[in-house]
A = this chain, B = another copy of it.
Amino acid sequence: MSTIKDVANEANVSVATVSRVLNNNGYVNEDTRKKVLKAIEKLDYKPNAVARSLFKKQSKTIALIVPDIKNPFFPEIARAIEDVLNNNDYTLILCNSDEHEDKEKKYFDVMKQKYVDGVIIVTSTLAPNYIEKNNIPIVSLDRPIHQSIPSVSVNNYEGAKEAVQYLKAIGCKKIAHVRGPVSVINADERYKGYLSEVCNEPWFSEEFIINGNYNVLETAKATMVLLSKHRDIDGIFSGNDYMALGVLKAATQMGIRIPQDLSLIGFDGIQLCELTSPEITTMAQPIYELGESAAKLLLNMIEGKAVNPAQQEFKVSLKIGQSTKVLR
């Protein structure tokens, strides 16, 4: 690899001049510029990003911290983010936290040591003041942490209400809920949305709420228990699409037909919804847009641009599949 010095020698100028050409700042005579450009071409010179980072204290790199990239929601998000970064000459570092605060903090340390310019994080465990004292541009995605921290998320509460309302509208008489992990903010919000819609119904019972922990197999098991005890449940609102797979599995195994016997609605709108049979009805988040917005927001923060709505909330929209009865 040739260095800026090699280019300077080749072009018979100083490194400062080469640097000026490279960065397009300062005064450079047109002929000199051409000479330098020719030398760069000849030597196939690529500036050393590390040296540049050291001086500039920034690395053109951002980190994405998610609980587990194997959860199919996150690859879709990650893809959107990477696309934006790629278009802006940034690089993406991927981190799996397993919802574990220690791992998150360890990643933060590394990020700072590597001059990572910013972080997009999906977390429920990290305290706002820890983040603030780290003093690194950050966007929380999918799960708002605190007003003080810019975030990109959706209206989970209203979305959940809408999901349950839809189940009611198509004629469901007893609606259960598979909730996500306790104290994961979006799971809590969706749970509250469900609750607000059903708590005053005469048929409602606490037993209609089970915890699937955003885990498919756990959900399948719990659903089997639920459905064998309450055979008259005819609607299930699943806290996310991934768990809806578990519900689908349990129902199929028990010979319960979806949607004839049981209507199922999920949340998220991951691509997988369209690939199952029946296709899963869901409250779809604009997933790609979420990732895109988070990335753009973060880049703006890094470049010091004004960031007006620091808390961006997108709307979810009903995406009707085949897992719910047809509305007449």
Chain A interface (Cβ < 8 Å from any Cβ of B): 1, 46-51, 53-54, 59, 61, 68-70, 72, 74-76, 78-79, 82-83, 86, 91-96, 103, 109-110, 112-115, 216-217, 245-246, 248-249, 252-253, 271-272, 274-278
Contacts and interface: CB of A to CB of B under 8 A. Distances in A.
A130 to B, nearest CB: 14
Contacts of A217: 274
A112 B275 contact: no
A217 B95 CA distance: 30
Copies in the complex: 2
B93 A94 contact: yes
Contacts of A103: 86
Contacts of A245: 275-276
Contacts of A49: 110, 113-115
A253 B275 CA distance: 12
Interface of A is mostly: helix
A1 B112 CA distance: 9
Nearest to A80: B70
A41 to B, nearest CB: 15
Contacts of A96: 79, 82-83, 86
Contacts of A72: 72, 75
A75 B76 contact: no
B277 A248 contact: yes
A249 B275 contact: yes
Nearest to A76: B70
Contacts of A275: 216, 245-246, 249
Most buried by B among A49, A92, A245: A49
Contacts of A277: 248-249, 252-253
A217 B109 CA distance: 43
Nearest to A271: B70
Contacts of A110: 49, 91
B114 A46 contact: no
